[in-house]
Structure 1
């Protein structure tokens, strides 16, 4: 799998995207700031987003100029359409093992990890790991971490017309 660093202005959000994630954008932006890019945005050969609309919107909110992208050029149009839905739907059938989740959250809390970065709100965290007297928040701020995209490949060529980059 070849991940490319692409100018965000070249990406095209899919107009018929049936999943809307306005509430998740700020959380994903905070996650990208803290953990960096761990999943590229997936696009078709025309740079239309297949998977990663929320990451795209978070990157836009963070005013990033380039983002990691995987071009899924081997998929047919029908496969692109099906994968776009599957990527959003399949995880919904899984559930949490609350006992194992509590163990993981307790370890993160003991390590002074900012638990707001993992997607649970304060009430959910209190229910999962709170004892009523423990402050589940901490002072570690995700705002201090810079996003580093340097691990992604820079390309040898750039089209002067559309700015697409390649080797």
Structure 2
């Protein structure tokens, strides 16, 4: 294991704007970017700007930011912010391409704070689309419903002291019959059946 740093930790990084056409995607990039995610990236760039620069090597090959580059091209951007990482070996660049995506996926959520943030965002500014957070409308509904659900609704009530139905009862519903009994009881099935056909 190499414990030495290829670059000083305190090295200052320079932000340079480049044409998307000058950047070279890596054909071995293992991260996929479905159309839905590209649309999310486009919406984020339109709303907040290009806040996460693309990482490249000195030759313009992408290390991180393939999805952002696709979104920028789809938006017709003529320049995108880039940071050049010098001094990395080919092996280190390949490892960083994976780490840049995987390490973020290893994080979790504080569900209580997440519910609070999404709930407040939806009420503070009605002009802000909550899906700009990257959560779909369905995901937001599920998250918020977990915080507002009445726990009493999840408790199965005890049976009433005086039951309305007891074994052997048969209810006539128009042309249908509903019986309370044991389906293994032939006599009960005869009573609940219509013309020899069981109503189940």
* TM-score past 0.5 threshold: yes
- Offset, 1:29: 0.7
Higher relative contact order (CA 8 A, sep 6+): 1
Q: Matched residues in 1 for 2:102 and 2:72: separation? A: 22
Residue matched to 2:132 = 117
Per the alignment, residue 163 of structure 1 pairs with: none
Post-superposition offset of 1:74:
2.4
**How many residues of Structure 1 are paired with residues of Structure 2 in the alignment?**
132
Which structure has the bigger radius of gyration?
Answer: 2
| 104-113 vs 25-34, which moves further | 104-113
**Equivalent residue of 2:118, what SS?**
helix
Separation (CA, whole Å) in 2 of partners of 1:74 and 1:103:
43
The answer to whether residue 20 in structure 2 is matched with residue 8 in structure 1 is yes
Provide the secondary structure at the position in 1 that maps to 2:102. Answer: helix
Q: Aligned partners of 2:66 and 2:117: how far apart in 1? A: 28
Please give the root-mean-square deviation of Cα atoms over the aligned residues, in Å: 1.4
TM-score (norm 1): 0.75
Q: Which residue of 2 aligns with 1:101?
A: 114
Matched, 1:90 2:135: no
CA separation in 1, counterparts of 2:115 and 2:52?
25
CA distance in 1, matches of 2:40, 2:103: 21
Tell me how far apart the structure 2 counterparts of residues 45 and 71 of structure 1 sit (CA, whole Å).
Answer: 6
Gapped runs of 5+ residues in structure 2? 1-12, 150-200
Who is 2:43 aligned against?
30
**Structure 1 gap segments, 5+ residues each:** 133-167
2:62 is aligned with 1:20:
no
For 2:58 and 2:92, the matched residues in 1 are separated by 13
Could you tell me the TM-score, scaled by structure 2's length? 0.63
